[in-house]
């Protein structure tokens, strides 16, 4: 599933309709590289909820495959009943996490495939759903590569790049979004150093981003989240690039908690801030970022991260998993369809007019 010089494959379908999902358990990285064999939809749901698979595009890919696992054992032969079952499984998976719109986008695609097959047998519909899940994965892989191509130019040779959370291969069906830009620039022979924010509380930057960058041979420096201002003031950062979980029609972008703060710092220090994301991360039904649902996670992720109590046991916590960076702080959005720059409702719609996402 992975090897030196290859990008990690966060999730993959193995075999035919009777096959299974192979998924890296990201909660174990970087200490242990564990690939789970998943054969039922409940385990996919749980994997998304507990962040064994995470990152907006990878969640979408896993959900598509989860639909197949949830319907393949349906024994009825009546089409209407089967379509109903597809709807139930999609509704169930849609409650796993609320912010990444790729989840709802992928589930909507799966539902529409089932609804459109008015003449097919149930058996054929099952096969077609698997084809769709695999297509979602393949398309994401291609989008990642295209994002890398479009974005590589923003990385200055000899410069410094800062990123927050993990928007790499682990977070997608391909080579990543923000990290695809870095991987491609590296392939093109540019030399640069990436400063990876640790990304409290679940440390996706420390555990996952540094792991991916170092495997690719990119110069990597891990910093605590609260060091970002200082490295900018010291002139070490020429560009910031992050991923996104949901981008509204006006370009406001939700991403891992702390991203907004980094964007404010970048503005103050005159550092361009870019978001890299595929069209499947845009939610054009929302006029602005204030309408993006923000997940709140358990206080224990802050109080006793990774099992160590670091505060009074019963202290109250506020734990939003994401924040929204307003479009005015974003220099450009790097998509597989090209760069959106400047970022506004007009430029988003000009580039993505046909991308529709349903939630």
Q: State the DSSP H helix or E strand holding residue 48, giving kind and residue range, or none if neither.
A: helix 41-49
Answer yes or no whether residue 162 interacts with ligand MRU by CB under 6 A: no
Q: Distance between terminal CA atoms of the chain?
A: 32
Closer residue to ligand MRU in complex, CB, 130/277: 277
Answer yes or no whether residue 89 interacts with ligand MRU by CB under 6 A: no
217: left (phi over 0), alpha (psi -120 to 50) or beta: left
Closer residue to ligand MRU in complex, CB, 242/325: 242
How crowded is the C-beta side of 23, counted as CA atoms within 13 Å? 28
β-pairing verdict for 246-248 and 20-24: unpaired
Using omega within 30 degrees of 0 as the cis cutoff, is the peptide bond preceding 351 cis?
Answer: no
- Shortest gap between Cβ of 222 and ligand MRU (angstroms)? 16
Distances in Å between the Cα of 58 and the Cα atoms of 23, 190, 301, 303 are 10, 28, 22, 27
Answer yes or no whether residue 279 interacts with ligand MRU by CB under 6 A: no
Answer yes or no whether residue 96 interacts with ligand MRU by CB under 6 A: no
Which residue from 253, 295, 248 is spatially nearest to 273, judged by alpha carbons?
253
Residue 292 · residue 248 · CB < 8 Å = yes
- Shortest gap between Cβ of 128 and ligand MRU (angstroms)? 27
Report the C-alpha gap between 344 and 151 in whole angstroms.
19
- Binding track over 298-337 against ligand MRU, x by CB under 6 A: -----------------------x----------------
Closer residue to ligand MRU in complex, CB, 172/325: 172
Query: Is 245 known to be catalytic?
Result: yes
| Interface size with ligand MRU, residues (CB under 6 A) | 19
Q: Which of 140, 238, 245, 283 is catalytic?
A: 245
Closer residue to ligand MRU in complex, CB, 57/148: 57
Tokens of 279: 């069209």
Answer yes or no whether residue 204 interacts with ligand MRU by CB under 6 A: yes
Closer residue to ligand MRU in complex, CB, 207/215: 207
Answer yes or no whether residue 147 interacts with ligand MRU by CB under 6 A: no
State the residues that interact with ligand MRU by CB under 6 A: 51, 54-57, 100, 165, 167, 171-172, 177, 204, 242-245, 255-256, 321
């Amino acid at each position: 599933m992975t090897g030196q010089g290859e990008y990690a494959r966060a999730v993959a379908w193995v075999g035919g309709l009777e096959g299974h999902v192979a998924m890296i358990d990201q909660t174990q990285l970087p200490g242990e590289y564990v690939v789970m064999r998943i054969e039922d939809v409940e385990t996919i749901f749980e994997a998304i909820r507990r962040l064994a698979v995470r990152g907006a595009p990878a969640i979408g890919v896993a959900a598509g495959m989860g639909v197949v696992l949830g319907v393949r054992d349906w024994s009825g032969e009546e089409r209407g009943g089967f379509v109903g079952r597809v709807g139930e499984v999609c509704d169930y998976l849609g409650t796993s996490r609320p912010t990444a719109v790729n989840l709802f986008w992928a589930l909507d695609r799966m539902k529409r495939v089932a609804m459109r097959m008015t003449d097919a047998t149930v058996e054929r519909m099952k096969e077609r759903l698997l084809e769709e899940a695999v297509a979602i994965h393949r398309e994401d892989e291609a989008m990642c590569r295209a994002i890398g191509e479009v974005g590589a130019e923003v990385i200055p040779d000899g410069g410094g790049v800062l990123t927050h959370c993990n928007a790499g291969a682990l977070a997608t069906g391909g080579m990543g979004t923000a990290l695809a830009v870095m991987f491609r620039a590296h392939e093109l022979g540019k030399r640069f150093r990436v400063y990876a924010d640790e990304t409290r509380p679940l440390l996706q930057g420390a555990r996952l981003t540094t792991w991916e960058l170092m495997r690719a041979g990119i110069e990597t420096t891990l910093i605590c989240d609260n060091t970002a201002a200082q490295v900018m003031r010291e002139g070490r950062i020429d560009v910031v690039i992050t991923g996104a979980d949901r981008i509204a029609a006006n370009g406001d972008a939700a991403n891992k908690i702390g991203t907004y703060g980094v964007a404010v710092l970048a503005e103050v220090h005159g550092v361009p801030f870019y978001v890299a994301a595929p069209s499947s991360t845009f939610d054009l039904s929302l006029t602005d970022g204030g309408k993006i649902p923000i997940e709140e996670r358990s206080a224990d992720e802050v109080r006793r991260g990774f099992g160590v109590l670091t505060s009074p046991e019963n202290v109250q916590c506020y734990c939003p998993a994401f924040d929204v960076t307003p479009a005015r702080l974003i220099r450009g959005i790097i998509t597989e369809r090209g760069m959106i720059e400047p970022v506004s409702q007009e430029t988003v719609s000009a580039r993505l007019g046909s991308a529709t996402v349903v939630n």
